[in-house]
Structure 1
Amino acid sequence: MYAKNQHILLLVQKLNPNKKALNHALKIATIFKSKVLISNSPFSKNKIADEDLENYISDHDNASKIQLSITEDQPNKIIKQLNIIFMFIEIDVKNDFKFYLRNNIFSWILNAKIPTFLVGQKTSIKTEYSNIILPIDHKKESKEKMIWASYFGRFNNAVVQLIPATEKEEVFKKTIRNTLLFTKKMFSQFIFNYKIHKSEFSSKHIDEEAFKMATTNESDLVVLMTGKAQGVFFLRYNSKKIKHLINHYPNPILLINPMKDYYLPCDG
């Protein structure tokens, strides 16, 4: 059902004793019939010794160590070479949100042709990935989130929770209706449950409100999309938003960059 040799790339900056990021990455690897590749974050000033990395994953046959470097064609060069379908990063709030964002991990996250899983200090250690939270705003690119969410329904029997924004402008209402129609049509091709929840919030606030919904449990995956057009404020805008969400909520995040000509997981 799956292509062989698909990988999850886990970038670490320190070795957390509870192995939270590793356990999350291993769960995703299980769902997608893939293996975990672990590496020092190329942007980390304090590199973890190879021996310590080896010991960190020694109990897990499904994980192995690699080395990465910073070049202009990364991360997409290594993504293509090693058939990586997701990056996985444990956010270091102290180091990952400094002013010169082009010199840290966010430059990779926001340029990758694959989605990135983000966990933080507050992220739950639970790794069910059985309830997927999907806020839907007025942008047509929201349809891309539905494709990625469908994998969890298909491969992990997850329930997908759709939370559309409420808008006053007719053009925005139409886009949201079209996204829901697209989603229903696509999801009907597979056997998994999904639910649509009414919301009173506009597109501006729908992402954060998705974390607060009564149907959202602490370990549920929230699927988000980077916002704003590419430009001088792209890194700053998105990193500020992620910092806030990582600091306030226990949910892992799947962050998708729209229109990136993605390398999609193989299911055939």
Structure 2
Amino acid sequence: MKERGKAIVVGWDFSEYSKLALDHALFYSYQTNLKVCLVHIVKRESDAIEMIVKLHEVVDRVYQNRGKHVDMMVRQGIVSEGLSSAAKEISAAVIFIGTRGVQGIQNYIGSHVLRTIMDSPIPFVIVQAPREKHTHFSLVCPIDSRKESKEILYWGAYFAQVLGAKISLVYPEYKTQTRIIKTRANVNFSKHYLSDCRVRYEEVNLSSKRFNNAIVEYAKKKHADLILTITNRQPKVQNLFTASKIQYLIANKEKIPVLCVNPRKDLWSYGAYK
């Protein structure tokens, strides 16, 4: 599978959490053909020169310590908009940001984080802790009754291939017949898709009650390296960050990295994945 971009953007604010994001990004960069670019957003244009000097020092240290050439960008504006704009500018595949949790996300990119992610065609990876170092990788890929939930399959298959990982297709055990039928159709599609990509997978049925909690608990049990999720496509939702279910998953207490994919209207049809 080909990458949907040329780089990995890391939101950089010189904090310990942006260092965590960089460490995760460097790992994925080593597994792919994607370069890494640090992006720092300044409020005033007059601050740009000082930040460029400091970023050069960071880039030099990365090369000295990790032997990796890292690019850098300084842009003026609002962080929540600047990251996505810079990522589009360099045709980035994914954006990594580090946070200390719910409050940390709010401090870092404002109270509209999920709206920012919703408006971005580029996925975000939220990290809260150092990357676990082991030789066997696993990904948790939730599938539900929404047709757009299948959109995470591309990224699941891509990362599974580059990491040699196994995917856990987890889906809710709904009570209503309509949701059961839709979910089963999505799961069957997912299995065929992953089989065609030659990706190892397993299917796991979880309780539909507090499904996101069940996802996190299962991911903890599996020592998962990444949880993939699709954001809500509904424009009427003004501030998804206030929704406790989504908030719990993205800033989960187990501090498992989460890849957030924004639904694409041009892929809402079943056939778009063929």
Fold shared per TM-score above 0.5: yes
Q: Which amino acid aligns with 1:51?
A: V
Distance between the aligned counterparts of 2:71 and 2:217, measured in 1? 36
Q: Which of 94, 118, 124 matches 2:126?
A: 118
Secondary structure, aligned partner of 1:152:
helix
Distance 2:100 2:186 in 1: 34
Percent of paired sites with the same residue: 21
1:25-73 CA-to-partner distances (Å, cap 9, x unmatched) read 11122233111110124579x9983333222232333311112233898
- Aligned twin of 2:55: 53
Q: 1:226 aligns with which of 228, 231, 248?
A: 231
Higher relative contact order (CA 8 A, sep 6+): 1
Q: Give the 3-state SS of the residue equivalent to 2:119 in structure 1.
A: coil
Structure 1: gaps (5+ residues): 263-268
Alignment of 1:187-266 (within 5 A): 187-199=194-206, 201-202=207-208, 205-213=210-218, 216-218=221-223, 220-227=225-232, 229-237=234-242, 241-242=246-247, 245-246=250-251, 248-259=253-264
- Partner of 1:188, secondary structure, is helix
Q: Which is helix-richer, 1 or 2?
A: 2
Q: For residues 164 and 185 of structure 1, what CA distance do their matches in structure 2 show? A: 16
User: 1:79 maps to what in 2?
Assistant: 87
With the length of structure 2 as denominator, give the TM-score of the two structures: 0.78
Deviations, residues 176-216 of structure 1 (Å, cap 9, x unaligned): 111111111111112231111222x11x5222211101774
Out of 109-118 and 74-83, give the one that drifted further: 74-83
Shift of 1:246: 1.9
Secondary structure of the structure 1 residue equivalent to 2:232: coil
**Hey, what does 2:23 align to over in structure 1?**
23
CA drift at 1:76: 5.2
What secondary structure is seen at the aligned counterpart in 1 of 2:76? coil
Question: Does the 8 Å contact 1:75/1:112 carry over to 2?
Answer: no
Instruction: Give the Cα separation in 1 of the matches to 2:110 and 2:262.
Output: 20
Tell me, in whole angstroms, the C-alpha distance in 1 between the residues paired with 2:248 and 2:75.
25
Distance 1:232 1:4 in 2: 27
Quickly say closer, same or farther: Cα 1:53–1:13, change in 2 above 3 A.
same
TM-aligned CA distance change 1:232 to 1:118, over 3 Å: same
